[in-house]
Structure 1
Amino acid sequence: MKIRTKSLLILAITCISLPSLVIKVSAQEQQIRARDLGISPGILPTGKLNAITDVTGVSVGHFTLIKGDSIRTGATAVLPHSGNIYQNKVPAAMVIGNGFGKMTGYSQVSELGEIETPILLTNTLNVGNAANAIVQWTLAQPGNEKVRSVNPIVGETNDSKLNDIRGQHLTSNMFKQALDNAKTGIVKEGTVGAGTGTVAFGWKGGIGTSSRVLPQSLGGYTVGVLVQSNYGGILQMNGVEVGKNLGQYYLKGKINNDSADGSIMMVVATDAPLSDRNLKRLATRAMTGLARTGSSMSNGSGDYVISFSVAEQVRRTKSRRNQMSSFAEVPNNKMTPLFQATIEATEEAIYNSLLMATTVTSKNVISGKSVTIHKLPIDKVKALL
């Protein structure tokens, strides 16, 4: 079994500023992916990296901000391809489960069925700076000198339990660093980027990713998912009631609390040639993967999915935007395997976000008290499974 461990020293390398003894990361604290624990949702094989970057051309970048005793936040960028995204738009769709969120760019994507910028994930009160950063970054791209309208895509979750969210500490330049840091290959998971200050099921949440590959007889397409987990409910893993058995779950003791509130952002990428209509159907299936983890989709939760296709033949280039569409897309009767891939990859990405997270301590600026959110206890999960 492959087990990843990180010490406090290693974590410090990825941070802007790290006060001593504030982030509690034991040298023995395990960071382990779901498959290394024997959790492999579904029946389809993963891609080589079991990450959203298994979809050719997709890249991911992070910027992590850990500073002082109360700043624990960051940004995560997802780029559909390495070219000029504004000039080579990709078909896309968005789906809302529960809409307690501040998704930027939703109306234009719903209307036109395409995205023209990278996707940024961050905290709730930094959405404005993130949108501004995307606009500036897009306008600066060669070939965009005459662009006068940009639809930035920004998703968020509220990390105020561990982060001084009112301080809006992420600047436009920090978001641009996340965009510039984007690369293909292995994706960092857990307490990183937009997942730095998130909480899921009462344990430390974060960034997680996974992928699935269809057999050639079903098209050979790849589906990759990346999540920013910050929500609640009654955690289940591989069908096992982990939250219930470990005594940490929503409505425990039938008290009125907000432990199920929070949000999750889910980004679904595929190389299957899909229209925005079928991408919306694909995005809807990510909600099924979310449900399998025990989400309550509470009144105070923002549950959002952004899906897009990177297939070259469906890209909306400048010339194609002025022509009648004439590309071969996956027909409705062939969509079900892609639905299954999305469900499986979403479920596993969420598990990875929890298992790869680390314990974080911070001063809650609202209460003035120190708060520690522990990582999911892997040894206890092993025993349950």
Structure 2
Amino acid sequence: MLGQEEEQVTSNRPRARDLGINLRGTTGPLNAITDVAGVEVGYTTLIEGDGPLTTGQGPVRTGVSAIFPRGRDGVGNPCAAGRYSLNGNGEMTGMHWIDEVGELSMPITISNTHAVGACHTGVIEWMNANHPQLARQWLLPVCAETWDGYLNDINGGHVTPAMARQALDAARRGPVEEGSVGGGTGMNCYGFKGGNGTSSRVVSFGDTAYTVGAFVQANFGSRDELTIAGIPAGQLLTVENPMEDTDWFEQDLRVPGGSGSVIVVVATDAPLNAAQCKGLARRVPLGLARTGTTGSLFSGDIFLAFSTADNGPSRTGFPTTDPVSDEIFTVQQLPWNRIDLFYAATVYAVEEAVLNALVVNQTMVGRDSHVSPALPHDQLQKLLGTTN
């Protein structure tokens, strides 16, 4: 098992901007979701075995990603939140409560499709150990997934509650590792090796600079759809695409090229209410579309956005005898007629996060020697005209 070190590290591989890809907007200093103050990201990665698939034994290419909106110490203090599902062939738990009250107060985990239960249990165990006072009431963790069964022994039960707890314990501020780590380890995107990507944008509002950050677990898109900086790269790159063969599923099934899923988490420190956060989540598909996808029926495309601006106690739990609990409260809110700046920042950050997930990656061989090829940097730079 590969765990995250005490201080987060980044891959030495280049990111999208390093290849000269023309991308819009001004990034934060890390160009990551952790540019939003307080946000922490952690991983547990599991890469074991090679060769033929034996369910329960491997090969294993999977993991867990964890995101704390306010860091581990801020769990329980809610963030305004909203969500949007472009296509519901996937899972993100805890959404009914977010729809009801417009708040998120739990950490977020992302893993593979058949690991949602293990992550859900792991988060509850972690909460009991680290925030027992909060665990006295109900807990509705946010656990999301995409399918990694092309490379991973997905039915083998390799993701455990302990792995989810380890990812939560590993969460840190600072640079975020991208590519084949955490929940993104076994994922594919546009017929290339996919996984995790992140990006951020700085938005000026009056005398204040706010940040919008995006984190993507990218496992979606057909090869011929891939578009980079307006160029139909997927149609022009000469790399074999074994994922779109008709017989790898070992049944008489044709797996459509757009199959998979994508989970996107958007964070901001701008004072947005729940409806405005939902507006950000609804703009995520526009960022994905800039990379080419048309949204497959066989892809679970589910998005969550939250604001860390109003940092106070929860007002949705059981009432207390404290007189403060009887007081009317007020919060700041961005004017609706200035929201377009934040919509644009979301679109551009999501686009770049997907491209980072592709560019940072390397070729991976998984179960039954299935190959997920890396996006070829040299060919791409020739198409873009950015070769030195």
* Fold match by TM threshold 0.5: yes
In structure 1, distance between residues paired with 2:348 and 2:73: 31
Task: Provide Cα deviations, 1:274-306, integer angstroms capped at 9, x if missing partner.
Answer: 111100001111110011111121111000111
State how 1:1-385 maps to structure 2 within 5 Å: 31-42=13-24, 44-69=25-50, 70-82=59-71, 84-142=73-131, 144=133, 147-217=136-206, 219-233=208-222, 234-246=225-237, 257-313=255-311, 316=314, 323-363=327-367, 369-385=368-384
Which residue pairs with 2:55 in the alignment? none
In structure 2, distance between residues paired with 1:383 and 1:361: 26
In structure 2, distance between residues paired with 1:84 and 1:30: 30
Change (3 A) 1:145 1:315: closer
Task: Provide Cα deviations, 1:93-117, integer angstroms capped at 9, x if missing partner.
Answer: 1110011002211111111111121
Amino acid at match of 1:66: I
Indicate the percent of aligned positions where both proteins have the same amino acid.
Answer: 40
| Contact preservation (8 Å) 1:274, 1:314 | no
In structure 2, distance between residues paired with 1:322 and 1:354: 50
Structure 1 gap segments, 5+ residues each: 1-11, 16-28, 364-368
Amino acid at match of 2:76: Q
Change (3 A) 1:40 1:136: farther
140-149 or 195-204, which deviates more? 140-149
Change (3 A) 1:98 1:146: closer
Amino acid at match of 2:381: K
Amino acid at match of 2:232: E
Deviation at 1:257, TM superposition (A): 4.7
In structure 2, distance between residues paired with 1:186 and 1:327: 31
| Contact preservation (8 Å) 1:202, 1:259 | yes
328-337 or 142-151, which deviates more? 142-151
Structure 2 gap segments, 5+ residues each: 5-10, 51-58, 246-253
| Contact preservation (8 Å) 2:3, 2:43 | no
Deviation at 1:87, TM superposition (A): 2.8
Amino acid at match of 1:345: A
**RMSD across aligned positions (CA):** 2.6
**TM-score, normalising length from structure 1?**
0.86
| Contact preservation (8 Å) 2:147, 2:219 | yes
In structure 2, distance between residues paired with 1:93 and 1:131: 20
SS at structure 1 position matched to 2:370: strand
Deviation at 1:216, TM superposition (A): 4.7
In structure 2, distance between residues paired with 1:68 and 1:353: 24
In structure 1, distance between residues paired with 2:278 and 2:64: 25
Deviation at 1:217, TM superposition (A): 3.0
In structure 1, distance between residues paired with 2:178 and 2:363: 14
